[in-house]
């Protein structure tokens, strides 16, 4: 039995409050496991109980302030009392729905009081766990829909809802406090976070770092590559960039510094690699589950098409590591005590590999994610008995508590964000904002992506990644979806492959273009024709010109672009939590570390353009692998051009040539053009590698690679 895990639940060493937290956290976890596997609770009740449980837990764990006065017994008693009050109010609200309908959808005085407590509780607990931005957005959204929207000029004017209607919709609407997003939190997200907690307590976290060190530790830049591999694998456990940075960074950052990497670079690598953990299937943080709910595209489909983009991202980070290692000759000194791959696998492999493999297999077969996660938890416990770190009752209880504790912020956040999404859906702000993006972009998908990236950066300064994706996805994904379909429609006009059913639409909206539709149309004419059509006609054209799978793929691509861009707040100054976490471990300047992480995480910007303009996510496997294969070398070339260094230093001409080659390899050009670019890539690489290396007399690992 692992003493560290056993100590986690030693009741004798805990205060009464901590003991209460332990029992409550374990009870919440067990209740959610029952709800998601064997139980049949109505959705509203499940979401209400979910919010109530985590509101109470949040009241116990957090305080109204971080100041010393907030630790006084009276203040702590008020904190706990407030948590209890909010939990009771949530339970009342989910049980009051039938009575409200019986009264003709009229709220009683008690309904008003309890509903107000729920909203105030959601705002306050979100403030405690995520800061002020989300609470300000919630208050602003509610004020807009009920009051000042009537005074806003132009397209954003909204006459307002009656207070009773607003309260009812805020509680019982599809996109509300206990609505769809809360449902994602109470099912998929919690079960996978709980699964991650069991993986950690079974020893899988140590296995990931150890196997990464064993595999990559002896290569040039090995410690940096360890961070890339470990953070990618850890992403299958937590899906949180900050958690990944804190857990793997305490090992990988000192290793990188010991090998010769600058502290700020070591921190930047860890932050950038940990950010990729939220892009790595099968968990992908909470984003994949939210995306599945919004788009109604199966979770398994989202996971499968995310594999190649995620690998591209981690390869990009690895390329920066390799280049920097060649600059500074970063090599970890030989360690005669390093375990073999077999030893590492024997001590920690089964609790990680077997449950994750089972989880993926069950998802592919067709089991629901929650059901698959429940089985994977049981298999994780069983698999641990194949190793010295066997999970007994104490470790199981510790994992249940850890899962609930790790879920507090996410649960409160996802429920509370429903209040904002409810306002967006009710007022039509999403459609208005999407039309504005389309107008500002001038019909250009590339410009629209840049606009969304800028909006994401601004939102990400104050919002957690999941919240940023939800808000930005609701507002801007429809615009990207329209522009993706618009480009495909123009391609059909240019190639003369527009279906006859779609041509019939032009008879009503643009009869003067009927003659030109008989064959291929010049690009400029096609672009002008489509750009001049009304929005309603375009929507009708999309439905007739494209099959359902094509429409679904375009929608998924739009949301995936937003999802990728929403990650940049982790690594982009001035607010980059993963970078700041890494800087604290590396003892480097936070802003400088943030700059390095932003540079290293360039894949966050490269990949969305590939998603938009290539079949990386929309083609068959042959097309996707072709784009992926050329993009690997394209990303490597762009990294070298940005750094001015490859295997050796590069002059301006080399940087210009290899930068052009990188863009050519990323662009969906003719196969022969890509092959020609790849040939130039190989020639420039060979010539650069033949240059004398300034550190040629140094020892480069055991393998010298």
pLDDT tens for 290-348 read: 888 888 898 888 988 999 999 999 999 999 998 998 888 766 555 545 667 777 777 67
**C-alpha span between 176 and 182 (Å, rounded):** 8
Tally of CB atoms within 10 A around 6: 15
600 assigned to some structural domain:
no
Q: Is residue 645 classed as helix, strand or coil in its secondary structure?
A: strand
According to the model, what pLDDT value does residue 465 have?
77
CA distances from 451 to 458, 480, 607 (A): 11, 11, 16
According to the model, what pLDDT value does residue 698 have?
43
Same domain, yes or no: 135 and 206: no
pTM higher than 0.85 for the full model? Answer: no
Residues of the chain scoring pLDDT < 70: 1-13, 216-221, 235-240, 285-286, 330-339, 347, 460-463, 575, 668-669, 693-705
250 assigned to some structural domain:
yes
296 assigned to some structural domain:
yes
409 assigned to some structural domain:
no
Same domain, yes or no: 258 and 165: no
- Tell me which residue range forms the domain holding 222: 196-387
Of residues 560, 593, 45, the one with CA closest to residue 295:
560
- Residues 486 and 530: beta-carbon distance below 8 Å: yes
423 assigned to some structural domain:
no
**CB neighbour list of residue 573: distance below 8 Å, 6 or more residues apart:** 579, 591, 594, 595, 598
**CB neighbour list of residue 52: distance below 8 Å, 6 or more residues apart:** 86, 87, 88, 90, 91
Query: Where are the strands (E) in 355-489, listed by range?
Result: none
DSSP run (H or E) holding 249: helix 241-259
Question: Both tokens of residue 544?
Answer: 């007739």
DSSP state of 235: T
Q: Which stretches within 339-388 are classed as H helix? A: 341-365, 369-384
- Domain boundary (331, 359, 387) is at 387
According to the model, what pLDDT value does residue 371 have?
85
Length of the chain: 705
According to the model, what pLDDT value does residue 216 have?
65
Q: Is residue 147 classed as helix, strand or coil in its secondary structure?
A: coil
Same domain, yes or no: 157 and 201: no
Q: Is residue 63 classed as helix, strand or coil in its secondary structure?
A: coil
703 assigned to some structural domain:
no
544 assigned to some structural domain:
yes
Same domain, yes or no: 247 and 133: no
**C-alpha span between 550 and 558 (Å, rounded):** 12
| Residue in this structure with the two tokens 């105030």, named with its chain if needed | 120
Same domain, yes or no: 230 and 340: yes
- Domain boundary (552, 570, 588) is at 570
**C-alpha span between 417 and 411 (Å, rounded):** 10
Same domain, yes or no: 223 and 109: no
Same domain, yes or no: 27 and 137: yes
Supply the angle between the helices 671-689 and 621-643 in degrees, to the nearest 10: 40
**CB neighbour list of residue 590: distance below 8 Å, 6 or more residues apart:** 579, 580, 583, 584
**C-alpha span between 446 and 450 (Å, rounded):** 6
Same domain, yes or no: 203 and 283: yes
686 assigned to some structural domain:
no
Same domain, yes or no: 175 and 200: no
Phi, psi of 427 (to 5 degrees): -90, -15
Same domain, yes or no: 157 and 111: yes
According to the model, what pLDDT value does residue 635 have?
95
Question: How far is CA 195 from its chain centroid?
Answer: 18
Neighbouring-strand partners of residue 645: 649
Same domain, yes or no: 356 and 330: yes
Same domain, yes or no: 172 and 268: no
Instruction: Provide the domain count of the chain.
Output: 3
- What single string gives the DSSP state of each residue in 64-133? S-SSGGGGSHHHHHHHHHHHHHHHHHHHHHHHSHHHHHHTTS---HHHHHHHHHHHHHHHHHHHHHH-SH
- Domain boundary (570, 591, 612) is at 570
Of residues 275, 276, 277, 267, the one with CA closest to residue 321:
267
Q: Is residue 649 classed as helix, strand or coil in its secondary structure?
A: strand
């Amino acid at each position: 039995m692992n003493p560290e895990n056993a100590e986690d639940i030693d009741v004798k060493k805990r205060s009464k409050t901590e003991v209460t937290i332990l029992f409550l956290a374990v009870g919440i976890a067990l209740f959610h496991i029952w709800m998601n596997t064997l139980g049949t609770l109505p959705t509203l009740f499940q979401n209400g109980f979910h919010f109530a449980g985590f509101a109470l837990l949040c009241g116990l764990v957090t305080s109204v302030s971080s100041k010393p006065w907030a630790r006084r017994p009276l203040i702590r008693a008020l904190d706990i009392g407030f948590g209890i009050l909010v939990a009771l109010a949530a339970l009342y609200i989910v049980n009051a729905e039938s009575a409200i309908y019986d009264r003709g959808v009229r709220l009683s005085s008690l309904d008003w009081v309890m509903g107000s407590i729920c909203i105030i509780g959601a705002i306050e607990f979100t403030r405690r766990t995520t800061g002020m931005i989300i609470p300000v957005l919630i208050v602003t959204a509610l004020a807009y829909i009920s009051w000042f929207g009537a005074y806003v000029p132009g397209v954003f004017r909204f006459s307002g809802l009656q207070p009773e209607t607003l309260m009812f919709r805020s509680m019982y609407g599809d996109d509300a406090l206990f609505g769809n997003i809360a449902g994602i939190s109470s099912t998929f997200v919690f079960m996978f976070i709980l699964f991650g907690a069991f993986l950690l307590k079974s020893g899988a976290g140590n296995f990931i770092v150890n196997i990464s060190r064993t595999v990559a530790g002896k290569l040039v830049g090995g410690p940096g590559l360890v961070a890339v591999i470990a953070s990618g694998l850890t992403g299958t456990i937590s899906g949180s960039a900050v958690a990944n940075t804190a857990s793997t960074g305490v090992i990988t950052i000192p290793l990188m510094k010991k090998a010769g990497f600058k502290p700020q670079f070591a921190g930047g690598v860890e932050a950038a690699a940990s950010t990729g953990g939220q892009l790595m299937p099968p968990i992908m943080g909470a984003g994949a589950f939210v995306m599945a709910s919004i788009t109604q595209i199966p979770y398994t489909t989202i996971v499968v098409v995310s594999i190649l983009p995620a690998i591209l991202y981690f390869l990009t980070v690895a390329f920066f590591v390799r280049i920097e290692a060649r600059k500074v000759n970063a090599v970890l000194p030989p360690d005669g005590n390093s375990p073999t791959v077999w030893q590492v696998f024997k001590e920690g492999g089964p609790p990680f590999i077997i449950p994750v493999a089972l989880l993926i297999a069950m998802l592919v077969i067709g089991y629901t994610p929650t059901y698959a996660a429940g089985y994977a938890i049981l298999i994780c416990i069983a698999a641990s008995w194949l190793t010295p770190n066997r999970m007994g009752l104490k470790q199981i209880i510790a994992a249940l508590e850890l899962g609930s504790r790790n879920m507090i912020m996410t649960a409160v956040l996802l429920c509370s964000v429903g209040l904002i999404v409810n306002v967006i859906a009710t007022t039509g702000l999403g459609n208005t904002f999407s039309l504005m993006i389309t107008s500002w972009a001038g019909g250009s998908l590339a410009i629209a992506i840049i606009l969304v990236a800028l909006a994401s950066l601004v939102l990400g300064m104050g919002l957690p990644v999941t919240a940023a994706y939800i808000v930005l996805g609701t507002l801007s994904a429809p615009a990207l979806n329209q522009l993706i379909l618009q480009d495909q429609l123009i391609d059909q006009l240019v190639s003369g492959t527009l279906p006859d059913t779609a041509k019939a639409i032009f008879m009503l909206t643009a009869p003067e273009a009927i003659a030109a539709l008989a064959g291929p149309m010049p690009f400029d004419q096609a672009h002008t024709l489509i750009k001049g059509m009304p929005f309603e006609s375009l929507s009708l054209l999309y439905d007739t010109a494209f099959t359902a799978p094509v429409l679904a793929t375009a929608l998924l691509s739009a949301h995936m672009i937003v999802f990728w861009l929403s990650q940049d707040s982790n690594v982009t100054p001035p607010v980059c939590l993963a970078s700041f976490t890494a800087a604290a471990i590396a003892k480097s300047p936070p802003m400088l570390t943030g700059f390095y992480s932003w540079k290293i995480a360039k894949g966050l910007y490269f990949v969305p353009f590939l998603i938009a303009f290539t079949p990386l996510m929309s083609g068959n496997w042959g097309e996707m692998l072709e784009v992926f294969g050329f993009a690997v070398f394209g990303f490597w070339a762009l990294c070298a051009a940005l750094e001015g260094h490859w295997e050796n230093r590069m002059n301006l001409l080399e940087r210009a040539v290899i930068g052009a080659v990188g863009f050519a390899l990323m662009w969906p050009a003719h196969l022969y053009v890509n092959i020609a670019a790849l040939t130039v890539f190989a020639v420039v690489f060979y010539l650069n590698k033949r240059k004398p290396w300034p550190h040629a007399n140094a020892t480069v690992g055991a393998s010298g690679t």
